[in-house]
Amino acid sequence: MENLIELKDVTKVYKQGGIEQYALNGVSLKIKKGEIIVILGPSGSGKTTLLNVISGLDHASAGHIYYEGKDIRKYSDRKMTHFRKKNLGFIFQTYNLLEHLNVYENVLVGSSLGGDKAAVDAIIDTVGLTKHRRKSMYQLSGGEQQRVSIARALAKNPKVMFGDEPTGALDEKTGKVVLESLVEANEKFGTTMLIITHNPGIAEIGDHVVVMNSGKIINEYENTTRTNPLDIPWG
Ligand SMILES: Nc1ncnc2c1ncn2[C@@H]1O[C@H](COP(=O)(O)OP(=O)(O)O)[C@@H](O)[C@H]1O
Ligand SMILES: [Mg+2]
């Protein structure tokens, strides 16, 4: 598989009261097209900062971030915003859905599918919500809402999907079903996925695991066989 993203010596420094703090301290990383990469580490280790600089939500202080060979740190804010809208999907711990819209309408918002009803339905089916497609968000459980947000992110056919603690607000049973939807989407659409978690069990669903501490990668390995999310240890 070819590399989709490459980071070289990426640093992020925060200055607070004259003191410099390295949220990222020389991170180098290669992400292959189509892989599920899991970023693991305790709270404060730099995971969210890493996601933010890879996705251009925040500026790195130094280093290079290449997408298919192009350094996005050279992009203007405007160009980066356009790039992000077109190519990157996001899911967060909170769902950020439109309460008064139903599943189908939430997925359609911001999608690149236009009026392609069959494509929207295929995505809703992938996350297992076909029978709920006319329900509004307040009629759905937390896990179901998170699957709507996965479907919404998929609907623009992103090059990469970023999940920052996507199961952080969910119990084990529901969280595993959400992870199952992510894996299914990866298998069906080939979407590259970067998932952040502090839950070590989740590492087993991925192809590539990166362990962080104090802004550095302290371990990195490949999983030759993915474990089905329903069978992983939790926590
Ligand atoms: N906007 C900010 N200003 C100052 N320090 C920050 C900011 N964002 C994150 N940090 C610091 O950077 C470190 C890494 O944070 P973060 O990336 O959020 O870690 P994680 O997601 O692994 O919990 C922490 O020490 C945090 O306090
Ligand atoms: Mg975080």
The pLDDT value recorded for residue 110 is 66
Of all protein residues, the one whose alpha carbon is nearest to atom 13 of ligand 1 is 23
Give the pocket of ligand 1 (CB within 6 Å): 14, 16, 21, 23, 41, 43-49
Fold of 33-61+76-231: Rossmann fold (3.40.50)
CA atoms of 24 and 53, how far apart (whole Å): 10
- How does pLDDT run across 174-231, given as a tens digit for each residue? 999 999 999 999 999 999 999 999 999 999 999 999 999 999 999 999 999 999 999 9
Q: How far apart are CA 123 and CA 154, in angstroms?
A: 7
Protein residue whose Cα sits closest to atom 24 of ligand 1:
44
Tell me, in angstroms, the distance from the centre of ligand 2 to residue 87's CA: 22
The angle formed by the CA atoms of residues 215, 207 and 50, to the nearest 5 degrees, is 25
pTM of the model: 0.95
| Helix (H) or strand (E) segment spanning residue 24 | strand 19-32
| Whole-angstrom distance, CA of residue 21 vs CA of residue 91 | 27
Model confidence pLDDT, tens digit, residues 20-50: 999 999 999 999 999 999 999 999 999 999 9
Nearest CA to 87 out of 25, 22, 148, 159 is that of: 159
The three-point CA angle 160-52-177 to 5° equals 55
- Region at 60 (left for phi over 0; alpha for psi -120 to 50; beta for the rest): beta
Beta strand pairing status for 36-40 and 192-197?
parallel
Q: How far apart are CA 106 and CA 111, in angstroms?
A: 9
